[in-house]
Amino acid sequence: MDYLSFWLAGRQALTGTPEIVYHLDSFSELQFRTTASDTVFAFFYPPTFQLLQIPYSFLSAKIAHITFVATTSIFLWYILRAILRNALWATCLVVIPASLNNAFHGQNAALTAALYALFLINIERKQPVLAGIALGILTIKPQLGLLAPIALIASYNWRCFASASITSILLAGASLLVLGSEVWISFVGQVPIASNVMQNGFVDWEKMISLYSSLRQFDINHIYSSTLQACLGLVCLVCVAFAWHQTTDMTIRAPVLIAGTLLTTPFALSYDLTLLIVPCAFVIRNGLEQGFLPYEKFMLTAFIVLSSSTSSIAIQLGIPLAPLLPFIVFVLGLQRYFYYSSFSTQMKATNTIKP
């Protein structure tokens, strides 16, 4: 399972050789000695994530896997309950197929989703310092925070921006003190390898959810695929800036930001679809309290049903459906913006009519 690389990263931190996880040959040999399996899991995360794995590495691999999945899933459930104000709905979202897929592989999407949820709910509650702390910790997976600075700048949320910056610096500093400077040097040195892994399909494109990976499945070359991926990212960036500048409604902000981020990054896998639970929670809360907009229930259902089968469909049928799922959630946010804008315009027009 994927969690093996996390556990071994924590173990190497305990033995005083954390930099080994960033040297693929040495890390592959270590995994073979541990499992006698030829399957290799690379560790492309920054040392800050390795630092967070140290407590779990005191446990055996299997117990650590179960404990990591349990703690991160409970964390996500707790924040979802705060958003939805309903424990049952939070439980339903935590066990949707995408989330179960993440748990099965021992991946970290429940943790990153919980951090995103904590960031957004504190923005909604006007607690920017706490929101920034959550966003700063999210730098354990940098590609998921690509558009967050744009959102904060567009909404003039400088206190959250500062809090996130300070938190990320302190977290990096803590990893430097605990793990040493060599681990950061090794991490930076393996960045070209990570890019090469994606470009050459060493991680199956069918298992990824980006536009880039979908285009590569159709034998479109790296340059064209990268260009189209960049264009899509630019569109998402503009939409995030617009949405976060124009409204404070989290049923608009959350879907546009999180789904836009997944549409922007070229490197995201099927378990990362778990992040889309968070904007869905805001939409469901509003729908239960004030009513759903046309087609919202259908789009939510489509996301949930397809959230664990995109890889299977891509592998067996050659149809890359994965980018459709963040696009569905992205549309949920934009639809709400245009609906409320239209409704507000009609109300203003009505109020200007003299009796």
Q: Which pLDDT band holds residue 343 (cuts at 50, 70, 90)?
A: low
Please answer whether residues 10 and 138 qualify as being in contact, where contact means their C-beta atoms are separated by less than 8 angstroms: no
pLDDT tier for residue 252 given thresholds of 50, 70 and 90: very high
Cα angle vertex 103, ends 192, 309, to 5°?
80
Average pLDDT, the chain: 90
Work out the widest C-alpha separation in the chain, in whole angstroms: 84
Q: Please, which residues bridge with residue 208 across strands?
A: 269
Q: Which band of pLDDT confidence, cut at 50, 70 and 90, is reported for residue 6?
A: very high
Taking alpha carbons only, the member of 239, 260, 241, 243 closest to residue 251 is 243
| pLDDT the model gives residue 344 | 56
Contacts of 127-131 with C-beta under 8 Å, sequence gap 24+, read 128/157, 128/159, 128/160, 128/163, 129/159, 129/160, 129/163, 130/163, 131/157, 131/160, 131/163, 131/164
Which one is predicted more confidently, 308 or 134?
Answer: 134
Q: Quick one: average pLDDT of 203-228?
A: 88
pLDDT digits (tens, 9 = 90+) for 190-213: 877 777 777 776 677 788 889 998
Task: Report whether 33 contacts 161 (CB < 8 A).
Answer: no
What are phi and psi for residue 151, nearest 5 degrees?
-60, -45
Residue 225 — pLDDT band, cuts 50, 70, 90?
A: very high
Top-confidence residue, 141 or 204: 141
* Rounded mean pLDDT, 219-234: 93
DSSP character for 208?
B
pLDDT at 352: 54
Percent of the chain at pLDDT exceeding 90: 68
Sequence-distant (6+) residues with CB within 8 A of 176 are 47, 184
Output the six-digit token pair for 239. Answer: 């939409």
The distance from CA 34 to its chain's CA centroid, rounded to whole angstroms, is 29
Least confident of 143-152, 223-232, 268-277, 343-352: 343-352
281 Cβ neighbours under 8 A, 6+ residues apart: 80, 83, 84, 89, 90, 93, 117
**Burial category of 249 from C-beta neighbours within 10 Å (exposed 0-12, middle 13-18, buried 19 and up):** middle
Residue 349 has pLDDT above 70, yes or no: no
> What does the pLDDT read at residue 348?
54
pLDDT above 80 (res 313): no
**Is the pLDDT reported for residue 288 higher than 90?**
yes
For the stretch 103-140, pLDDT in tens is 998 999 999 999 999 999 999 999 999 999 999 999 99
pLDDT in tens, 21-55: 998 888 888 888 888 777 778 888 999 999 999 99
Q: Are 326 and 259 in contact (CB under 8 A)?
A: yes
Identify the three-state secondary structure at position 334. Answer: helix
Q: What is the pLDDT of residue 354?
A: 46
Say what the pLDDT of residue 306 is.
Answer: 86
The pLDDT value recorded for residue 201 is 67
Tokens, residue 28: 């592959």
Is the distance from CB of 212 to CB of 320 less than 8 angstroms?
no
**DSSP for residue 210:** S
